[in-house]
């Protein structure tokens, strides 16, 4: 530790002494608990103000609440997540709760570490966005603290789930492409790893739905999936892989806008134009998709509503609810200029 003299923090004892009351009284005022006279409340509040006192979260964590909500974010680069965080913050505004975030990273090991970090820091509630760890691990966490999982469809007795109707969303995209006349429609998404969960995650559902709708239209022989995470880089590699096939797809459905941007880069590099040579669709309807020079067909899911709901469910659980809840938002297709009819076969 640095040896420089660090000013001692103002503690509850300092406030008590300054106000001429007991520490209990101060603690009660802080938590707006019963059993304090208005006069005492005023004196304590004045002392807190004068001394610039703030509760020490770590000390609080030893006994009661930390007034902290922990969020697991899989990837800082995905522009859809800020929408969720905005919703969460909105729901938490006006409460004493603070949000802290950890980044999950690329593999399950990193994600596990990130989740542990939140648990070890004794947050009052935890929101996991599209976690990849196994279900047992989630239930293990949920048994210890109020938990909401976003992006998972499987219901659990221990935690709440908030998700988009990914089946509907994926179906809208694939039907849209088929409706435009495409048959060789490929998909980029869903990478299962060895220690990861394989079912019920949003990307798995989008990929399965893609395959199902293709089969329903007699296009099972055209099914082509490039397994890739929802990142720009993976989308790029996925598209390159798909473009090597012969004949190449006339349309690509990327499971996320971020992956679609990577695919777009690959398409440009290959000298292909969108949608004349290849149609491209994403998912999430991020602000980037709406940019006129990109104009990406995408699926809109209301991230702010999901974030708000997750926040509300967490607060409810913190207040004592133990039954579990499932909340789903309905997505809608936003067609833009990146999709169009396929070029007539040569």
Partner DNA sequence: TTGAAAGCGCTAACAC
Partner DNA sequence: GTGTTAGCGCTTTCAA
Residues that bind DNA (CB under 7 A): 8-9, 11-13, 20-25, 27-28, 30-31, 33-37, 39-40, 53, 55-56, 59-60, 62-64
Q: How far is the CB of 18 from DNA (least distance, A)?
A: 12
CA distance 275 to 251: 8
The correct pick among 13, 20, 49, 77 for binding a copy of itself (CB under 8 A) is 77
Rule CB under 8 A: say whether 113 interacts with a copy of itself: yes
Partner interacting with residue 85 (select from DNA, a copy of itself, none; CB below 5-8 Å by kind): a copy of itself
State yes or no: residue 33 binds a copy of itself (CB under 8 A): no
* DSSP 8-class letter at 205: H
Q: Which does 12 bind (CB under 5 to 8 A by kind): DNA, a copy of itself, none?
A: DNA
Q: Can you tell me which of 30, 219, 270, 318 binds a copy of itself, judged by CB under 8 A?
A: 318
76 binds, among a copy of itself, DNA, none (CB under 5 to 8 A by kind): a copy of itself
The binder of 33, among DNA, a copy of itself, none, by C-beta within 5 to 8 A per type, is DNA
> Could you tell me where the DSSP H helices lie in 102-216?
108-120, 135-144, 166-179, 202-216
Alpha-carbon distance of 230 to 261, in angstroms, equals: 10
Region binding a copy of itself by CB under 8 A among candidate stretches 23-31, 113-121, 214-222, 304-312: 113-121
- Between residues 100 and 168, which has the closer beta carbon with respect to a copy of itself? 100
Q: Based on DSSP, count helices (H) and strands (E) in the chain, helices before strands.
A: 13, 12
Q: What are phi and psi of 110, to 5 degrees?
A: -65, -40
346 binds, among DNA, a copy of itself, none (CB under 5 to 8 A by kind): none
Asked if 164 and 328 touch (Cβ cutoff 8 Å), the reply is yes
Q: Taking contact as CB under 8 A, which single stretch among the options 23-31, 38-46, 109-117, 192-200 is the one that binds a copy of itself?
A: 109-117
Query: E strands along the chain, which residues?
Result: 68-73, 98-103, 125-129, 147-150, 160-164, 185-189, 224-227, 251-254, 279-281, 298-300, 326-329, 332-334
Q: Going by C-beta distance under 8 Å and a sequence separation of 6 or more, which residues neighbour residue 339?
A: 176, 177, 180, 251, 275, 279, 280, 281, 297
Q: What are the structure tokens assigned to 77, written together? A: 């680069």
* Closest listed residue to residue 181, CA positions, set 219, 144, 124, 148: 219
Nearest approach, Cβ of 234 to DNA (angstroms)?
Answer: 38
Partner interacting with residue 49 (select from a copy of itself, DNA, none; CB below 5-8 Å by kind): none
Largest CA distance in the chain: 90
Under 8 Å between Cβ of 71 and 101: yes
Number of residues this chain uses to bind a copy of itself (CB under 8 A): 63
Q: Would you count residue 106 as binding a copy of itself (CB under 8 A)? A: no
User: Are the C-beta atoms of 130 and 163 separated by less than 8 Å?
Assistant: no
Residue 156 engages a copy of itself in binding (rule: CB under 8 A) = no
Burial zone of 252 (CB within 10 Å; 0-12 exposed, 13-18 middle, 19+ buried): buried
Q: What is the footprint of a copy of itself within residues 46-65 (CB under 8 A)? A: 54-59, 61-62, 64-65
Footprint of a copy of itself on 269-288 (CB under 8 A):
269, 287-288
Residue 166, Cβ density class (10 Å: 0-12 exposed, 13-18 middle, ≥19 buried): buried
Among 21, 102, 173, 263, binds a copy of itself (CB under 8 A): 102
Nearer to a copy of itself, 288 or 325 (CB): 288
- Residue 326: CB atoms within 10 Å: 14
Give residues in contact with a copy of itself (CB under 8 A).
Answer: 1-4, 6-7, 9, 54-59, 61-62, 64-66, 68, 76-77, 79, 81-82, 85, 89, 98-103, 105, 113-114, 116-117, 119-122, 143-146, 232, 261, 264-265, 268-269, 287-288, 290-294, 317-318, 320-322
């Amino acid at each position: 530790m640095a040896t420089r003299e660090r000013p001692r923090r103002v503690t509850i004892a300092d406030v008590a002494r300054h106000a001429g009351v007991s520490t209990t009284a101060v603690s009660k005022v802080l938590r707006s608990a019963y059993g304090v006279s208005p006069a005492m409340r005023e004196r304590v509040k004045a002392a807190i103000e004068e001394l610039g006192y703030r509760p020490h979260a770590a000390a609080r964590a030893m006994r009661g609440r930390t007034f902290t909500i922990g969020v697991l974010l899989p990837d800082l680069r995905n522009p859809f997540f800020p929408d969720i965080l905005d919703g969460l913050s909105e729901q938490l505004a006006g409460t004493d709760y603070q949000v802290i975030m950890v980044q999950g990273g690329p593999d399950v090991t990193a994600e596990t570490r990130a989740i542990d970090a939140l648990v070890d820091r004794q947050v009052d509630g935890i929101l996991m966005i599209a976690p990849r760890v196994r279900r047992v691990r989630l239930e293990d966490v949920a048994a210890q603290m109020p938990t909401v999982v976003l992006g998972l469809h499987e219901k659990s007795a221990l935690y709440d789930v908030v998700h988009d109707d990914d089946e509907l969303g994926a179906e809208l995209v694939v039907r849209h492409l088929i409706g435009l006349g495409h048959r060789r429609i490929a998909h980029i998404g869903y990478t299962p790893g060895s220690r990861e969960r394989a079912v019920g995650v949003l990307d798995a559902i989008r990929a399965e739905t893609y395959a199902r709708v293709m089969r329903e239209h007699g296009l099972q022989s055209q099914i082509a999936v490039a397994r890739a995470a929802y990142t720009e880089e993976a989308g790029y590699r996925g598209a390159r892989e798909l473009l090597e096939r012969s004949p190449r797809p006339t349309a690509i459905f990327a499971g996320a806008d971020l992956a679609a941007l990577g695919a777009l880069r690959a398409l440009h590099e290959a000298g292909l134009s969108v949608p004349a040579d290849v149609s491209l669709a994403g998912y999430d309807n991020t602000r980037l998709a709406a940019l006129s020079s990109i104009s990406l067909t995408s699926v809109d899911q209301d991230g702010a509503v999901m974030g708000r709901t997750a926040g509300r469910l967490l607060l409810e659980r913190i207040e004592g609810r133990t039954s579990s809840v499932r909340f789903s938002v309905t997505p809608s297709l936003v067609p833009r200029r990146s999709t169009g009819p396929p070029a007539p076969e040569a």
